[in-house]
Amino acid sequence: MAARRIKPSLYISVDIEADGPIPGPYSMLSLGASVAGVQDVDGFTAADPEEHTFYRELRPISEEFVPEALAVSGLDRERLAREGHEPAVALAEFTGWVRAVSAGSQPVMCGYPASYDWTFLYWYLLRFTGASPFGHSGCLDMKTLYATKAGLPLRAVAKGTMPRELLSRRRHTHHALDDAVEQAELFANLMAWPGPGSPR
């Protein structure tokens, strides 16, 4: 029996900003992405997180919003209603970008934590393009990755509990592209980290 060919995984750090807790009633207002690196049978190779990036601000899809959620991003819903990209256009452009940067590899979305960003991203992709370039399960949660490597319960994990050398030196600004780039660096550091107690 022939050995199954394993395609490399291309990890794409994604961050979204939204005006509420779930997609549909609430809107994804911005989407940022950065290529973090590629993993094949020989290991992981980090990418320059500023080399391949994507960013769009989107028109809101409903009138509902949570003021506290909106305040986190600092985005202006009224401006986005006038100037934001149509979601169908933005998500089609994102899909095209993902396919271009992941040619020859399987794209995997990664986030910190991935659950919130993936919920919005996957819903928007299916709602506005009918498909996801990541499939239905192509996501990896950095918080879970750290907890597993550190041997900690997931609920014990926060960025403040991580060794400083794992964290990006970039600020977490709540601008989707800034944060995607920052998280790409965190992901690359986590992939290279052998775990606690190992020599540096």
Residues ≥6 apart with Cβ < 8 Å to 139:
108, 109, 110, 111, 114, 118, 122
Distance CA 177, CA 200 (A): 30
User: What DSSP assignment string belongs to the chain?
Assistant: -PPPPPPPEEEEEEEEEESSSSBTTB-EEEEEEEEEEEEETTEEEE--TTTSEEEEEB--SSS---HHHHHHHT--HHHHHHHSBPHHHHHHHHHHHHHHHTTTSEEEEEETTHHHHHHHHHHHHHHHHS--TTTTT-EEEHHHHHHHHHT--GGG--GGGS-GGGS-SS---S-HHHHHHHHHHHHHHHHH---TTS--
Active site positions, annotated: 174
Paired with 47 in beta bridges are: none
